Structure formats: structure tokens, C-alpha cells
Amino acid sequence: MRTLSYSGLLCILSIAPFTGSLAAPSRSHPHKVKESIVPPRGWVKHSIPSADHTIVLRIGLPQPNFHVLEQHLYAVSDPYHERYGAHLSKEEVERLVAPHQESLDVVDEWLKSHDIKEGELVRSPAKDWVTLKIPVSLAEKMLDTTYSVWKHVESGDELVRTTSYSLPENIHEHVDVVQPTTMFGQFKRFKSTISWPEDSETPPQLKAVATASGVTVDPSCNSTITIKCLQQLYNFVGYTPTSKGNSIGITGYLEEFANSQDLQSFYAEQRPDAVNSTFKFVSVNGGLNNQTLSESGAEAALDVQFAFGLAHPIPGTFYSTAGRPPFKPDVTTPTNTNEPYALWLDYVLSHPNPPFSISTSYGDDEQTVPESYARRVCASFAQLGARGVSLLFSSGDWGVGDNNEDPATQECFTNDGRNITRFIPLFPASCPFVTSVGGTVGINEVAVSRFYSGGGFSDYFSRPFYQDKVVKDHLATIPKGTYKGLYNPKGRGIPDVAAQSDRYRIYWRGRAVLIGGTSASSPAFAAIVSLLNDVRLSKRLPPLGFLNPLLYSKGISGFNDVTIGHNSGCGTKGFNATQGWDPVTGLGTPDFGKLKKLVLPFH
């Protein structure tokens, strides 16, 4: 792989802005279709929004030097590269993703032609995104389109959307994407059903098991997962972080609030040395911090209690991001209808010191997020990776299928009007610049449970180079013709890694409950990454940052391979867990004892 030297980066960063003749104001140019989709399956036109209904419009300008940023991302994330760990600063990243001045000027002229003033705009730090609040009537004029209220037949969710929009011809090359327009995603949390410990069906008890690392796992861990269980399973019993400056973060959406009283109850039971410690709360876009015990979120409780409990005393941050798409469009100014993780990205990219390890347990069916928008959001994740942030995302709980909890009755169809059967990969887990975490269950760690570990292959993103060998090796094990046409064998493979994902004991609304899903796997793995960052920081080394190039090379030997189980969905058994990487559990589950040696420089 060709990479640029650091001096080459400085050269790129100092390039003068593009200057050239500006196109004439956009009103003199006819509109041309920018994006058009077939009405997605399950959505029907319901009504017409009022003309003064407010839309928060996000306009993405091109990032002409993103390929350079990508080169640097891989250089600083490759453990065999001389620049490994030399992460870029916030300012360096912003310069690399900044649009040309011509794009800024042309788009500004277009906005001015619609009487939109500079004071009405919000620009991202790199100026690659422009956000404005406007009535739907003006949005329709600007985009030469007609918005409708669309209703999802099954859920009753409603969205104000269009299936096609246009831009003046002279604007096309200066705008990558405009949303909300064609996005019909149903942003959702990943978790299986909550159960009460006294009512739950207890799996057969096993005798104490010695793991490959020689650590003995208590047999109770087969029915209930605690902090002690994960420490035993993943070989970090007795490890205490000591470095300064480390950090871990959890993202919260959809009015999920992390309750402090529940956290203290959890600490008292499972992490007594953490009692009376807390986390930093950050509100994004008006996100609330409702501490009413009866309104606390199970997802937030799971994420915070295990991520911060496993990583203690590493400082934790919980981000509460407002926004709940879909919404009921029956008021003039609605809740923001863009995907909330885009709002969170806006916020975290604008801050100089985001947490080094961040877990997210939410996502969408990939096909419900327009590819142009998915690529731009994915590029934002790359910016964080280049700055030294490890991003962990749950791979989903429905195997190769959609969010129907019964794999046998899932209807997995394409969203492009063809309505052909297709496996349903998830986004953002399918982005090649994040680490996707699948699920296992039981002391013997198999890839099957009350739900199925999300996995498969992206239809948007091609297979990244770091996955090339292991994915090809796995594809060679699949009998020829199996699932032909149901997945993209050239796509980015999901997940990358796995961890325990069922029967986690947490405190929720004042009571102990069991909860699971890859919602549990991701924060647990993020905590282990945070501990690995402690190993490096204690040696005065930078944090790990984007993990995947390390995991798929030097780090492979630090994982316990999972070879039993599958991930049913779409009326099929899905893929099998096999020797080596597989689209069920990825590379396997972590062995901290091995990884803490592998994350240090060669001797």
C-alpha cells in the first residue's frame, strides 16, 4: 500500500485553496435530478405536510482530499508502519476534508439566491457540512421536489420525505448529498428481551472451565454474566489501569438515559471499588439527562454499567443525543429527523479531545440509509480514527436478516423496487472505518443464543484490504452456489470481533435484570480496548485509534476462535462460525493477556 510521508501531509495541508471562475448564480441554471429512489418497501404516502413544517437540511460538500486522509489513517493504524500511532490533530484532519473554495462559493451563491443569509447557517469546523432550518415549502423550491408525509405500515412511524430531489446543474459537482430527503431509516437500538433473574430459563450448569489462557471461569457465568465473568473469560482478572489521560465513551440515543442510582446499585454488587464514582454527562443537540428512575433506559444502563464498570477507574463519558427519527410530523418544528449519529458526529468532531474508545449500540438496515449519506457518515468515522479514536459498533441481533425477532419469519427483501430476497447488512457496522462487534454465549462461547449475532457482507462498501485474506479464506469454505445472490461476496465483512452477548446482569429501574444482545458485546469490547489503551499509555505510547489494521494482522493471535454456531435469518441458517474469521463472530473473542503484549512495539 502506498502512503504519504508526514512531510507529504504537511504539504497537502498547506496547499492554497482552489481558485477559479465562479459559476453564475444558480437561478440561471435548470435543475437536474441528484438522487432518486423507488418508494421503499413498507412505506406509503399518508398526507401532505404543512407548508411551514420545519426541516433541518444538511448539505454535504465534497471532500476532494479524503483519499489522502484515508492514506494517513491506514499509516497511523498499521502496527508495521513507521508512523503507527502518530495520529493527526483535529486541525490537520479538518484541512484534509475541507471542500475547495469554489464549492463553498457556489453553494453560498445558491443559498443566497433563495434569500438564506450567512447567520442562518451552521457550518461544520471543516466547512464540509452546511446545516439550516427552513420551512418545507422553501426546501421544495430549492430542491425542485415535493415532500410528503410517509407512513410505515407495520410500525405506524411517520416521516416527511421525498423519493427524488434535484439541484441546479452548476451545483451538482459541489454537493455530495442533501438530507433529509430520501432517507427512510428506522434507527434502532440492538437488544434482546429483558428478563427477571428469578423468572428466566436457566441454561444447564457447566463445571468450571479453564480457558485457553489458563484462567478458570466460574460455572455461574453460563447463566449470568457479571464483571467477574468477563474478567475471567477474557483474561484480565486483577488488571488495574494506572495511566493518566485515558478515556472511554458511550453514545445514547432515542431518549435512553443512564441512571446514576442504578449505576451505584450495580457498582455496589459487582464493582465495590467504584462506588460513589460517576461519569461525565454530555448533552448533544439538547439531549436530556432524565434521572427519574422509572424512565431510565435499559440500553443506557447496560452500556454504562458494563463499559465503565469493566474499565474503572478510567474516566467515562455518556453522550445523550436528542433526535428520534421517525417522528410524528404534527407540529411545525419537529424533532430533528436526520439520523442522530450524524448529530453526534458533528459534536464530537468539533471537540479537541474525544474519548479514546467509544461504543455505540444502535444502527439501521444498511439499505434504508441512502448510499451517498452512508458514505459521508462513514468518512466522518474515518476522521475520528485518524485522530486516535477507536469506534465500536454492535453488529445487530437478527443474524443475516432484518429486525424481525423470529428468523424463520423474516422477510428480507431489497429496498430498490425489485423486492428480491436479500440478506440485510447493518449500518454503521458495515462502515470499514469502525470495528463491528458480534455476539457469543456461554462459557464455551458459541455463536447462537436467544437471538443471532448480526453478520454478513456490506452492499455499499467493498472489502477493505485488511480483511482480504481472512475473508477469502472463509468464502472458500462455503459450498459453491450457497446463498447465491443473497449477499455480496466482495463486500466489507461483518463483524470484526465478538464478545459475550447474553444474560448480562444489570440494574434497571431499581431492580436486577438480565439483558443481552450485541448491545452488550460492544460496550464490553470497548472497555477491553480502553484497558489496552492503558497498557500503551502507561508506556508513554499513544492510544490504539482505528483498530482493524492491527486486529487483522499482528492482533489475530490475540483472539479465541469461535467455531460453533450460526446466525440464522431470512428463513435460512445464515452463515456458520468456522475456523478463522467468519461473518458471525469475526476473528473471535479477545484474550487480554495476549493482546496487551501484542499492542506494544516489537522488541
Q: Which residues are annotated as a binding site for Ca(2+)?
A: 561-562, 580, 582
Q: Enumerate the known binding-site residues.
A: 561-562, 580, 582
- Select from 416, 449, 581, 574 the least CA-distant residue to 518: 449
CA distance 459 to 476: 20
Q: Are 259 and 296 in contact (CB under 8 A)?
A: yes
- First-last CA distance in the chain: 25
Per-residue DSSP letter, 97: H
Are 37 and 145 within 8 A, CB to CB?
no
Give the type of residue at 20.
G
**Cα–Cα distance for residue pair 593/232, rounded to 1 Å:** 11
Please give the C-alpha separations between residue 254 and each of 156, 324, 325, in angstroms, as whole numbers: 17, 5, 8
Place of cell 498499521: 78
| Strand ranges of the sheet holding 426-427, from the earlier edge strand across to the other edge | 188-189, 362-365, 426-427
Q: Find all residues with CB under 8 Å of 509, minimum gap 6, and list them.
A: 259, 262, 293, 294, 296
Element (H, E) at 378: helix 371-386
Q: What phi and psi, each to the nearest 5 degrees, are found at residue 184?
A: -120, 30
Q: Which of 99, 110, 103, 122 lies closest to 167, judged by CA?
A: 110
How many other C-beta atoms can be found within 10 angstroms of the C-beta atom of residue 242? 11
Name all contacts of 381-384 with Cβ < 8 Å and 24+ positions apart: 381/345, 381/428, 381/431, 381/433, 381/434, 382/66, 382/69, 382/70, 382/73, 382/433, 382/546, 383/69, 383/93, 383/97, 383/349, 384/345, 384/348, 384/349, 384/354, 384/358
C-alpha–C-alpha distance, residues 460 and 416, integer Å: 13
Residue owning grid cell 489458563 = 214
Question: Position of cell 444447564?
Answer: 204
The percent helix, strand, coil of the chain (3-state, each to 5) is: 30, 20, 50
C-alpha cell at 240: 488495574
What is the C-alpha separation between 104 and 130, in angstroms, rounded?
10
Q: Catalytic site residues? A: 299, 303, 519
Cell numbers that stand for 534 in this block: 492503558
Which of 355, 519, 501 minimizes the C-alpha distance to 429?
519
Residue type, position 551, single letter: L
